[in-house]
Chains A and B, each alone.
Chain A
């Protein structure tokens, strides 16, 4: 008893051999048992043969052949990347000034209001938000009503069930994830740096371009990466606002699982994971180089 209650680090260290596996074991076993097993089964299924009605468990790899030779799938991958790049660019263009403005607010109540405005949509389902955009953008919706009343257009403009509608709603879904990393780095920035820049005679534009902007780059980078990955994985928004006209990999994965063509769905899932992980890895490498370059400049 006295030995077990021995004070200080020695007591901690003594129990370590058993305690660490006891603490981490459940979570590790859980993830390995569920996620890794499921992904393993997915990988195995990607090799199997699909007869048109059922799966034969023999390795023909025909789903890979079909995916990489049929130009339809190249078109889907292109549409997917185009959607992710477009929405990420728009999110960054809107998200940076938004984070910058929030970081400048001084009154606590206004800070809370701004946080609620930007982040509370996260608490509502993406289905609710997609339905909201359908209501706003449809033929008889608010936007078309405004455009017609102000005589900006002669007839209703098509804003849903196409790329535009998906992009408008997807930017809305992703924007909180863009703003958050930029905002957190802007808030962590030492105000003394900006004051010093001003004291040394820099204009506000110079201070922004030479001090704030370069220092906020890690936040911008994290925001871009997160937004892009989430855009690549989006399912609900393209499904509900695309009206079948915006085909991306997540939609095909679900469609093929429902059609019992599990090998093809598995190949599409593997391609999606590969695209997302490659993008993350490539941007990590690029970012490290850029950070190193910034370090040398100092």
Chain B
């Protein structure tokens, strides 16, 4: 181990990894630093320190409205994507039927259509059916983008979990619906959490589709930020970005702790 660490190739590899890590973190770190920058044009090094951009975040009404709208839409889209995706994944992994592979490919279709194309197409559809500029329209559009991820993650989980416990429950007289809720769902809970997080983040960060189907008055937070960045470019955007980065850090910590607790419990229960 010590010998391996000393040789130049390995050292170079570690140095390279460190450099890549810096590159990956650089924009997040400098956005946070810039949020305290008194200079409007983001000069470096900072001429001083200020909190006025954070105060400004609260004063931009688009950000406040966007935050509420984004949260409502993300929760709605996650609920739709997880419900439809989990049912579909269960059907694909637990039943054999004709054209199963075709059905699987069809459910993955939203992934291979570029989001910008889907956004443009959805705009043309929504202005015809009155969903343009509505929350319902956003929820449906975002749910569609999250659906393939939920389906793939849950299907993979169902595959690994196997059906032994389900068969045992049915042998003991439980009907398929009771088995699904009391045996299947608890078994794949970590997978469900991960897939729900995926669907939530997909909606939360969505730009390309939202861009086409939001009205100025019902923007999501990313669209409000996108417009602000194009019109003003002062560190108010850095301040709200820093808040979102902190939010993402909390999300990572929560996810890691949930999964760790689950893994831990599984280890304990097995003992």
Asked if A pairs with B, the answer is: yes
- Chain A residues within 8 Å of B, Cβ to Cβ: 4-5, 7-8, 11-12, 15-16, 19-20, 22-24, 26-28, 30-31, 34-35, 37-39, 41-42, 45, 94, 97-98, 100-102, 104, 106, 112, 114, 116-118, 120-136, 138, 140-142, 145, 169, 172, 175, 204, 232-233, 235-236, 239-240, 250, 253-254, 257, 262, 265-266, 269, 272-273, 276-277, 280
In the complex, are the beta carbons of A141 and B92 less than 8 A apart? no
B130 at the interface (CB under 8 A from A): no
Interface footprint category on B: 35 or more
Specify which chain B residues have a CB less than 8 angstroms from the CB of A125 in the assembled complex. 204-205, 207, 222, 225, 241, 244
Q: Which of B9, B39, B88, B241 touches A27 (beta carbons < 8 Å)?
A: B88
Alpha-carbon separation in the docked complex, A43 to B20 (Å)? 42
Alpha-carbon separation in the docked complex, A131 to B144 (Å)? 28
Specify which chain B residues have a CB less than 8 angstroms from the CB of A35 in the assembled complex. 109-110, 113, 118, 121, 144
- Chain B residues within 8 Å of A, Cβ to Cβ: 1, 9-10, 13-14, 16-17, 20-21, 23-28, 30-31, 34, 39, 41-45, 80, 83-85, 87-88, 90-92, 94-95, 97, 103, 106-107, 109-110, 112-125, 128, 140-141, 143-144, 147, 151, 167, 170-171, 173-176, 201, 204-205, 207-208, 211-212, 222, 225-226, 229-230, 233, 237-238, 241, 244-245, 248-249, 251-252, 256
Q: Which of B28, B42, B97, B173 touches A140 (beta carbons < 8 Å)?
A: B42
In the complex, are the beta carbons of A235 and B116 less than 8 A apart? yes
In the complex, are the beta carbons of A24 and B103 less than 8 A apart? yes
Report the minimum CB–CB distance from B2 to chain A (whole Å): 12
Q: Which of B16, B44, B117, B122 touches A253 (beta carbons < 8 Å)?
A: B117
Alpha-carbon separation in the docked complex, A204 to B125 (Å)? 58
Task: List 15 extra interface pairs beyond A11-B176, A20-B95, A250-B208, CB under 8 A.
Answer: A5-B170, A22-B87, A23-B91, A35-B121, A38-B125, A41-B125, A97-B17, A125-B207, A131-B31, A141-B43, A172-B27, A233-B115, A265-B120, A272-B117, A273-B117
Report the minimum CB–CB distance from B88 to chain A (whole Å): 4
B137 to A, closest residue via Cβ: A34
Specify which chain B residues have a CB less than 8 angstroms from the CB of A232 in the assembled complex. 114
8 contacts between A and B (CB under 8 A): A24-B88, A31-B110, A34-B122, A38-B124, A123-B248, A125-B225, A126-B207, A136-B26
Report the minimum CB–CB distance from B120 to chain A (whole Å): 5
Alpha-carbon separation in the docked complex, A58 to B248 (Å)? 49
Specify which chain A residues have a CB less than 8 angstroms from the CB of B208 in the assembled complex. 233, 235-236, 250
Alpha-carbon separation in the docked complex, A72 to B123 (Å)? 26
Decide yes or no: A118 and B27 within 8 Å by CB, A27-B151, A34-B141, A141-B42 being known contacts.
Answer: no
A-B CB pair tally, cutoff 8 Å: 262
Report the minimum CB–CB distance from A221 to chain B (whole Å): 17
Specify which chain B residues have a CB less than 8 angstroms from the CB of A34 in the assembled complex. 122, 125, 140-141, 144
Specify which chain B residues have a CB less than 8 angstroms from the CB of A129 in the assembled complex. 27-28
Alpha-carbon separation in the docked complex, A127 to B230 (Å)? 11
Specify which chain B residues have a CB less than 8 angstroms from the CB of A20 in the assembled complex. 91, 95, 97
Specify which chain A residues have a CB less than 8 angstroms from the CB of B10 in the assembled complex. 104
Decide yes or no: A4 and B27 within 8 Å by CB, A27-B85, A253-B117, A257-B123 being known contacts.
Answer: no
